[in-house]
Each structure stands twice: as structure tokens, then as C-alpha cells.
Structure 1
Amino acid sequence: MSKLSYVNIFAADIEALSGFYQRVFGFPEVEAIRSPIFRGLDAGTCCIGFNAPDAYELLYLSEHAETSGCKFLLNIDVDSPQEVDRMVPIACEAGASLIKAPYTTYYNWYQAVLLDPEGNVFRINHML
């Protein structure tokens, strides 16, 4: 059976952006895989990787380095609707921007939509 192991984000500042997710959600760094162009965080069921721009060349993706727009969406699940409400101001104080305040979706999740300090979209969710 296949499983998701990492979601990787190309980040202008891997130290600052991985630090944001550590401060807000408490995800510990996977120090064994740290490099000058990579940081990894253990997010429970999978990991979040942060690649420096140098990784574009390493992965033969240089021609795609200038593409912009939303290319992925991180979903971080928490234990309750109250935890969603609690985490939003913590994320904002750490540098996130609130795009959509916590609400109940048509598919019965309680969630908030935010941008991290580099403009990447993430949601804080609880399935009702």
C-alpha cells in the first residue's frame, strides 16, 4: 500500500518558514535529514519538507522556479472546533494572514483558511 510521506514546500527562507510551523503547531524537526537546502518536520502521519530555491536546480525544475500561484494546500487537523479557534490567533501572531475565519463547511468540517509568512495556503481543520 502506498502512503504519503512528505509534502514539500519550496521556501525562500527554509529556516524561518519551518520555524513558523514549529512554533504554531509544535511539529519537531527531523534533524537527521537537515541540510543547507532542506528542513523536515514530523507532522504526525506524514512530514512537511521545506526546500530552498537551490533545490529547483537539483531536481531539474529550474524552468519552473518562477511559476506563481497556489500549488498545494496544507491541511492540519486538530482535535476540536475550539482548538481551531485557539490556533488561528497563534498562527496570526506568528506571521500568518487570516483569509477565511473559522466556519463550518458544507462537508461538515470546521476550518480556517490562512496564508503562512511566505504566502502558502494552509487550513486548520476539525472534522465534525
Structure 2
Amino acid sequence: MKIEHIAIWVKDIDKVCEFYRKYFDGVVHPVYHNPAKQFTSRFVTFESGARLEIMHRPDIEPLSSSEHLGYAHLSFSVGSKEEVDLLTQQMSNDGIQVVGEPQTTGDGYYESVVLDPEGNRVEITI
């Protein structure tokens, strides 16, 4: 058994897809649109086979805070401490909000945490 994909509601599909393409080498697939439901989505596929479904519907509103019950973050493994540091610095230079600088956490992970264009937490780890 495996997780088939994870879905994220967003306001700007193209901006979020570009974030995952640019920084995590995701392949962005064509737009699906269902006019009857006012639903639009795009899948982003990663080398490992993992997929994100980036979705929009105009009646879905953002939460008032990035911290809430439910899913907490996505995590991408980039292979080494050096890669965590390099990608985090590149994102910072590009104006991506870094909310957790690279560090070894109490549970032994070396990671940083950034926010995607819609405020979703993304952990970058070894």
C-alpha cells in the first residue's frame, strides 16, 4: 500500500505549482477544470513517484493561521546537510519565507522550514 497523492487547496494554482517545480523538481501536469463545480486542479509529480494535487475552488477560504489541527507540513528529502543549507539559502535569496533555519532538531532531523506561496509549511531535510 502507498499514499497515492496529497491535495492542497490554494488560491493561485500556477504560482504554487511553479514553487514545487522550481525548488523540488516537480513535473507540473496539465490543468483539469470542471466548470459545473467551479473546480480546477493540477498534479505535480516528483522523481520518487509522490504526487501533489494543487486544487482551487472559489468558495474555499484560507484558514486564519498557518498553525491548525490537521496536516502540518510536507517534507522533502534533498540528500545532505549541504543541500538543505543551499536550497534554504536559495529560497531565502528568492524571497521565500524561511520560518525555521537549518538545524538539527531534538528528534535528530537536520531540517529547515519554509512557506510555499500560500503559507503551507514545507520541511527540507536530509
Fold conserved (TM > 0.5)?
A: yes
Aligned counterpart, 2:123: 123
1:13 aligns with 2:12: yes
- Answer yes or no: is the 8 Å Cα contact 1:102–1:111 preserved in 2: yes
Gaps of 5+ in 1: 55-61
2:41 corresponds in structure 1 to: 38
Question: Cα distance 1:110–1:90, how it changes in 2: closer, same or farther (>3 A)?
Answer: same
Distance change (3 Å), C-alpha of 1:53 and 1:95: farther
1:38-87 CA-partner distances (Å, limit 9, x unpaired)? 11111224101100125xxxxxxx6xx33614442110111101000011
Between the aligned residues of both structures, percent identity stands at: 25
State the TM-score, normalizing by the size of structure 1: 0.79
- Structure 1 residues 48 and 100, CA, compared in 2 at 3 Å: closer, same or farther? same
Q: For the Cα contact (< 8 Å) 1:95–1:116, is it kept in 2? A: no
Q: Paired residues, what number? A: 114
Unpaired stretches in structure 2, ≥5 consecutive residues: 34-39
Structure 1 residue aligned with 2:78:
78
Contact kept, 8 Å, 1:24 with 1:87, in 2: the verdict is yes
**TM-score (structure 2 length as normaliser):** 0.80
| Partner-residue secondary structure (3-state), 2:28 | coil
Q: In structure 1, how many angstroms separate the alpha carbons of the residues matched to 2:3 and 2:91?
A: 25
- Tell me how far apart the structure 2 counterparts of residues 114 and 18 of structure 1 sit (CA, whole Å): 15
* Alignment RMSD (CA, Å): 1.8
Higher helix share: 1
1:95 Cα deviation from its structure 2 partner: 4.3
Match of 2:92 in 1: 92
